[in-house]
Amino acid sequence: MIRVLIVDDDPAIGRMLARLFERDHDVVIAGDGPSAIALASRAPAPDLALLDIMMPVMDGLALALRFKAMPETRRMPVIFITARSGSTDVIRGIQAGARSYIVKPFKLELLKSTIERALEHQRLARENVRLRGQVEFLKVANAHKAHIDIERYLRLVIESCKKELGAVAAGIPSASLGAAVALALGIGIQNFPEGLAVAAPLRREGFSRTRSFLFGQASGVVEPIAGVLGAAAVLRMRPLLPYALAFAAGAMIYVVVEELIPEAQRDHDTDTATIGAMLGFAVMMALDVGLG
C-alpha cells in the first residue's frame, strides 16, 4: 500500500487531507518538520509527501531539502500545498525539489490528479529499477550458459549486486526477484571455499564423501537464519551497518587466510601470518580510500 506523509501545522487541514486518501493509502500526519523527519526515518518510508511551507521550527522548503539528503526519502516525490502564491515562492519550491506546487485554496480534483501523477511516476521509477535488476540477472545467467571463465562470471555477479545495493542505498525500494537471485548466487559462490574448508579435512580423516559433503553444507545453514536476523537488525540499527559489514569482511579474511592459504600454515607461528595478512589488507584499504 502507498504510504503518504502529510505535514501541516494546521490540524484541520491535515485531517482533511488524510480523509481524502486514507481509504486507498496508508496516511501518516506530522505537525512540524522534526516530527516529519522522525516518521520518514522509520520503515516503511513514505512514498509521497504533501508539505505546507509556512510551519514553525522548520519550514517546508528546509524540510524538502532535508528529505532529499536522507537515503530513505531522497527519491520521494514532494508536493507543496501552501498559501504562498508568489512566483519567487514557486521557484524556491521547485528548487527545493518539489514535484508540484499547489496554492491554497485548491480544488480537490486538481490535488487528486497531481498526486496520482506523482504516484504513477514513482511506480514507473520502481518498475525501472526492478527491470534493471532482471537484466543484470539475465546477464549472469547467460554468462553461465556460455561457459565463460569464472573470473568474468564472478565479476558479473558482483556488479549486478553492486547496482542493486546501490539503488537501495539511494532510497529506491528495489526488492526484485532478479536482484535477490543475483545476490544469493554471489553469496553461494563465495561459500564454496568455506564449505570445502570443512568437507576436505573430514574426508582426509576418513569420513565418507556423502558425510563430508553434508557436514560442509551444514556449515552454511546458519547463514540464512543469521541473514534474516541481520536484515531485521539493520532496519532498527542502520547507523551500525558499516561497522557490522566491516566486522563480517574481517571475519571472512581471517577464515580464508587461516584455513585456505597453505603458506600460512607451514610454520608453527600461524597467527603471525594471519594477523600480518589482515593488517596488510587494512593498510591497502586505507591507502585506497585516502588516495582515491
How many of the other CB atoms lie within 10 Å of CB of 80? 25
Assign 160 a pLDDT band (cuts: 50, 70, 90): low
The cell numbers describing 154, all together, are 564472478
CB 88 within 8 A of CB 61: no
Distance CA 107, CA 97 (A): 23
Within the chain, all domains assigned CATH 3.40.50.2300 are found at 3-106
The cell numbers describing 291, all together, are 588516495
Q: Would you give the distance in Å from CA 133 to the centre of its chain?
A: 13
Owner of C-alpha cell 505537525: 31
The cell numbers describing 143, all together, are 554468462
Average pLDDT of the chain, as a whole number? 76
- pLDDT tens per residue across span 59-102: 888 999 999 888 888 888 898 888 887 888 888 888 888 888 88
Distance CA 199, CA 190 (A): 15
Q: Supply the DSSP string of 229-278, one letter for each residue.
A: HHHHHHHH-GGGHHHHHHHHHHHHHHHHHHHH-GGGGSSS-HHHHHHHHH
Inform me whether the pLDDT recorded for 169 exceeds 70: no
**pLDDT value of position 174:** 47
Distance CA 173, CA 72 (A): 9
CB 75 within 8 A of CB 172: yes
Q: How far is CA 282 from CA 246, 248, 252, 279, 285, in A?
A: 11, 14, 13, 5, 5
Distance CA 190, CA 33 (A): 45
Distance CA 138, CA 190 (A): 20
Distance CA 2, CA 26 (A): 6
**Coil vs helix vs strand at 31:** coil
Inform me whether the pLDDT recorded for 32 exceeds 50: yes
Owner of C-alpha cell 580423516: 205
The cell numbers describing 219, all together, are 556449515
Check whether domain 3-106 has CATH 3.30.870.10, yes or no? no
Assign 173 a pLDDT band (cuts: 50, 70, 90): very low
- pLDDT tens per residue across span 254-267: 777 776 666 666 66
The runs of H, that is alpha helices, within 146-238 are 150-169, 177-204, 209-218, 222-236
- pLDDT tens per residue across span 132-141: 655 555 555 5
Distance CA 76, CA 171 (A): 8
Inform me whether the pLDDT recorded for 240 exceeds 60: yes
CB 80 within 8 A of CB 100: yes
Average pLDDT over residues 229-242: 71
Q: How far is CA 8 from CA 134, 155, 188, 232, in A?
A: 40, 48, 49, 32
The cell numbers describing 40, all together, are 520518514
Q: Is the model more confident about 152 or about 84?
A: 84
**pLDDT value of position 7:** 92
Owner of C-alpha cell 509521497: 48
Query: Residue 11: is the preceding peptide bond cis (ω within 30°)?
Result: no
